Chains A and B, each alone.
Chain A
């Protein structure tokens, strides 16, 4: 248990973060009042966000141990524990989740008109499960939260979604569930072959046989690649994104997709290092395929939400690329890019939601020229678009730069193959921006369209703040993750003394 650090200054802070939204959801079940539901959800999510701030303050950046740990035996006969903690890999994701949620409530303020109370209950339950996933240090706890999250997300899409909501929600549910059933088998296998313990740190860096590792890795891969989603497992994503209500799209893009890449970092690499080494080249090329495919497909979209959805496939391809080059800049860039993608894409979905609320269309041609009447909106949209394709001084630039630097270290061919992705991103984002902001006036009179109101500005402003904070001063963020990433890679390379052989393989 020497990997655990219990922080006495902030007892039970992580549990508070997990259970506050859940308690809020349960209480909300008993009050049938739309007005109250909105303020209550906003209050609870904001409180959760505020309570998460001390995490940053008290986080010890000099150690790779899991911090703020809480450990209670849960199901004794199977040795399942309620054990939670965060390290450099998860802290930013936890912060991202707590930050996004109040903004999602704000974004749904006037968008959701029916069954508001149930909607807010779903949002709060989502928050509880998402935070738990990033904090869980027991594999069963992780799996339970990972699966339980499907129910509220399914409801969000199926009840408040667009015209093809049924198709989208079912596809989302089936894909992600089918992906994770083998994960369950892998977990039980690990439990039995690991002294009957589900404690995740105990499972890492063990000498499982090569065959076992390959099978474990494939089970992990299926679950995580679908969640990311990596090409060619991405087909559920555009449907889900397009049909989900704005808040649902934001949660999907900002947090849910990150769970897949988080899974790779937390489980796949440390538990199956040998298989990771063997299969990394394949995954790298799959990532490249995703980047290029996502870029081209996004370029061809006329539906703005679809455009952003496909761009996510490309952006997440960059993240998996960074993870599986398995060097410091790559992995750090990948983690940073996970956060960046959460911020930027989340904000873009909000922007599109705002147009949709006004024009009731997500078609690019219907939005042509609306920017003329919405100067504030256009300002926000421009910055988020620039961030999306990695313009210097924005957050994504730092992330993509680190990832590409890491990729260059590994193999120049890989890096060269990834670069067109960045160009494509510029192409599709600028195309969208050009139509909305400077587009012609083919559309009927749009002068009735109002610019953003205060609530909408308040919703978008934090995103913009982070776009520039990370873009101009990423160091504090990298400091938070650095030691944990170093520890992960040291362990990994220590595990393979002949890692050079792999590098050669990839170069060839």
Chain B
């Protein structure tokens, strides 16, 4: 039972592999994938109360890991549900696409359970390599081939980041003589005045910063978001972030003592990410690129919770990233639905969407208002809690800078809503989302509002979850 989600994923991969040998049509493959996704989600729920250690104590199963596994599986299921027919991906590779998606998720699930440096490395690579292959899987009829550029960029930046990470890990091992996370970090915490310790820590963090797209490891974001197919981008923009935050919390929660140097670096990363992300998003025309840049800013926000080094801060960060993933998925749902043949969606393509599909326009408006941090949606509550937590720790300046960022961000979110609701649709065609898409969007909207209006339960639960690893 402890290893059930992972086993289910492996099984799912196998089934999809067998499907790929036959002559299943796109629809059949898709239905099988959705069924498997649901099964995986079910498995994570079934094993949610498991605890224990596996594989010579390198793999820890606890409430924290299991909840994050459920979240990851849930996010993947949503992506599968609104992914429609993988319009831009050649039909003959659909089974492979799903296979790699499952493998990536397997890596991410292993990542949240890993408590040993090499296990972390292996899981991170497993999840990354699958995505490296997913990114260029896109058919744009040989017109631009920017999916190739995206794939190569993602691969090169990813490999560089993991290179940094591996290097940092070797430092850690050299300094502490162990690869077990708890031992490593506890020992490192006593030697922050040794530059090697700080360098080691920063290099390891670089790996997660890459997944989370935090400055200065964000360079891949806009091009990869733009180049990958809409469904792949939706996946990259949400699922891996959950795992990255989980591991970041696991890592940082172990830091004790005078980690001032680390703290300063985290602060700078947070502030620069916010400004860089928001200012760059202002000028984007492709909505995926815009969401990519805004994602960088949101990652900066998440760091506000992490750098409090407190349970509440971690719980807030967890609440925020869950909220972020939901809001982001709501926006990507609309992008995937509006995009007719899987091409990229420019902001002007959303002109008059309210006339072409009121429910999609409404979903997008709620998603964007929520991302902008306007009440009563989850984005506001999340920001509010992160700011309150950071101010409690005395980071006044950072909080003011973050508040200024909220004001900057509203401009580009609003400009999209403006186009959706006021511009003339001209010749653009009616969008008819499927029942499944509509149901998914109603589900996302409901939960975005509920989490925003009644956050207590979610935050309490997040605190309980985080407490298990402290």
Contact = CB atoms under 8 A, between A and B. Distances in A.
State whether these chains interact: yes
Interface of A: 74-78, 140, 143-145, 147-148, 150-151, 154-155, 158-159, 165-166, 169-170, 173-174, 177-178, 181-182, 184-185, 188-189, 191-192
B314 to A, nearest CB: 13
Contact of A169 (B384, B407, B418): B418
Contacts of B400: 182, 185
B456 A184 contact: no
A170 B417 CA distance: 10
- B contact residues, range: 20 to 34
B352 to A, nearest CB: 11
Contacts of B418: 158, 166, 169-170
A188 B390 CA distance: 10
Given A147-B380, A169-B422, A178-B410, 7 more contacts: A78-B385, A145-B375, A148-B375, A154-B414, A166-B418, A178-B407, A192-B388
A462 to B, nearest CB: 32
B455 interface: yes
Given A159-B421, A170-B415, A76 B399 contact: no
A159 B422 contact: yes
B376 A148 contact: yes
B456 to A, nearest CB: 5
Contact of A151 (B374, B422, B459, B463): B374
A188 B410 CA distance: 21
Contacts of A185: 387, 391, 399-400, 403
30 contacts: A75-B459, A77-B456, A77-B463, A78-B385, A143-B375, A144-B375, A145-B375, A147-B380, A150-B374, A155-B421, A158-B422, A159-B421, A159-B422, A166-B418, A169-B422, A170-B414, A170-B415, A173-B410, A174-B410, A174-B411, A177-B374, A177-B407, A181-B403, A184-B384, A188-B388, A188-B399, A189-B391, A189-B396, A192-B388, A192-B391
B209 interface: no
Interface in B436-470: 455-456, 459-460, 463
Interface in B327-380: 369, 374-376, 380
Nearest to B406: A181
B421 A144 contact: no
Contacts of A148: 374-376
Interface of B: 312, 369, 374-376, 380, 384-385, 387-388, 391-392, 396, 399-400, 403-404, 406-407, 410-411, 414-415, 418, 421-422, 455-456, 459-460, 463
Contacts of B459: 75, 77
Contacts of B415: 170
B375 A147 contact: yes
Given A181-B407, A188-B387, A76 B375 contact: no
Nearest to B391: A188
B392 A192 contact: yes
B375 A181 contact: no
Contact of A147 (B374, B414, B456, B460): B374
B407 A144 contact: no
A485 B304 CA distance: 42
A375 B384 CA distance: 55
A145 B374 CA distance: 10
Contacts of A166: 418, 422
A144 B380 contact: yes
A136 to B, nearest CB: 12
A27 to B, nearest CB: 16
Closest 6 CB pairs of A and B: A144-B375, A181-B403, A178-B407, A148-B375, A188-B391, A188-B388
A155 B420 CA distance: 11
Contacts of A181: 403-404, 406-407
B388 A78 contact: yes
A159 B354 CA distance: 10
A144 B376 contact: yes
Contacts of A154: 414
Contacts of B407: 174, 177-178, 181
Given A151-B369, A155-B421, A159-B422, A184 B414 contact: no
Nearest to B462: A77
Nearest to A144: B375
B396 to A, nearest CB: 8
Nearest to B456: A75
Contacts of B410: 173-174, 177-178
A140 B376 contact: no
Contacts of B391: 185, 188-189, 192
A29 to B, nearest CB: 10
Nearest to B358: A118
A165 B418 CA distance: 10
A276 to B, nearest CB: 22
A28 to B, nearest CB: 14
